[in-house]
Amino acid sequence: MTVRLGRGEERRAKACPVCGAPGRVVRAETLRALLKPEPGERVTESRYRFCGAQACDVVYFSEDGPQRFNREDLTVRVGVKETKGPRPICYCFGHTAEEMIEQIKGTGRTSVPDDIRSRLETEGCHCERTNPQGSCCLGVVLAFAEEAARRFGHGGCS
Ligand SMILES: [Zn+2]
């Protein structure tokens, strides 16, 4: 007999137990690669999700139980949860949010997305094991570039 979760329960399983934000599925491989040794040993075959809420300390939580991992359990800074620099935004090639803002303030544009694109082709990426979100950073980088251009750009430049 399989136990089916009701709608409310299903939604709860996918939401961060602390802040209630919906979590994105991440693979256990990502957790094992980025957690410090001791918390890393607690990773099981559960399904894990990533909490992207900036103010929330929880980075990963399991869908099927009370297991959670906080910022201090990781070996890297989680860019989306930091308010002070350097905020890593591309983990494979070491780009930060501050670097992008700096470029946009200076020239109105940022070379980071192009750098990532070209290096993806030549070097490939390891986002699954380097980015706490466990997925390619390019989408986040492009969205950030647009936002930064609006906030810090010179306006009118293309
Ligand atoms: Zn949370």
The residue among 105, 109, 120 whose CA lies nearest residue 158 is: 109
Alpha carbon distance 143, 52 (integer Å)? 15
pLDDT along the chain (158 residues), means of 10: 67 89 95 97 95 96 90 96 94 96 95 95 92 93 95 69
Give the pTM. 0.85
CA of 158 to the centre of ligand 1 (A): 37
Residue-wise over 62-100: b if at least 16 C-beta within 10 A, else e? bbeeebbbbeebbeebbbbbeeeeebbbbbbeebbbebb
CA-CA-CA-CA torsion sign (50, 51, 54, 55): negative
CA of 54 to the centre of ligand 1 (A): 8
CA of 136 to the centre of ligand 1 (A): 21
CA of 14 to the centre of ligand 1 (A): 11
Alpha carbon distance 125, 64 (integer Å)? 30
Tens digit of each residue's pLDDT (9 = 90 or more) over 90-131: 999 999 999 999 999 999 999 999 999 999 999 988 999 999
